[in-house]
């Protein structure tokens, strides 16, 4: 797996960069260019929008497709057919 050396404080302060973790592999931090403003949802992603209260109460970690992932991620994957 490739790695990079970066100043984490600069990345976190930049509005042009986005740092996130994927719920399906929480050990990996994803660094990418921010593609849209906070609060805006592009039309092609509205089908994957997690509604308020959806999957509430799903806590802890579960095994999904052979991987240990957060319970909320399992709920979303089941609802959206992933």
43 in a structural domain: yes
Structure tokens belonging to residue 37: 């403003």
Q: What's the number of domains the chain is made of?
A: 1
1 in a structural domain: no
Long-range Cβ pairs for the range 19-28 (8 Å, 24+): 23/69, 23/70, 23/72, 23/73, 23/76, 24/64, 24/67, 24/69, 24/73, 24/77, 25/67, 25/69, 26/69, 26/70
Range of the domain at 15: 8-79
- Give the pLDDT band (50/70/90) at residue 82: low
38 in a structural domain: yes
3 in a structural domain: no
18 in a structural domain: yes
40 in a structural domain: yes
Residue linked to tokens 């497709």: 65
2 in a structural domain: no
What tens digit of pLDDT does each residue of 1-35 get?
566 777 777 777 777 777 777 777 778 877 777 77
31 in a structural domain: yes
């Amino acid at each position: 797996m490739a790695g990079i050396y970066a100043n984490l404080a600069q990345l976190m302060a930049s509005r042009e960069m986005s740092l996130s973790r994927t719920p399906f592999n929480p050990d990996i931090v994803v660094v990418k260019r921010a593609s849209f403003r906070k609060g805006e949802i592009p039309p092609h992603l509205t089908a994957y929008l997690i509604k308020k209260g959806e999957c509430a109460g799903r806590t802890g970690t579960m095994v999904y497709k052979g991987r240990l992932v957060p319970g909320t991620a399992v709920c979303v994957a089941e609802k959206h057919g992933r």
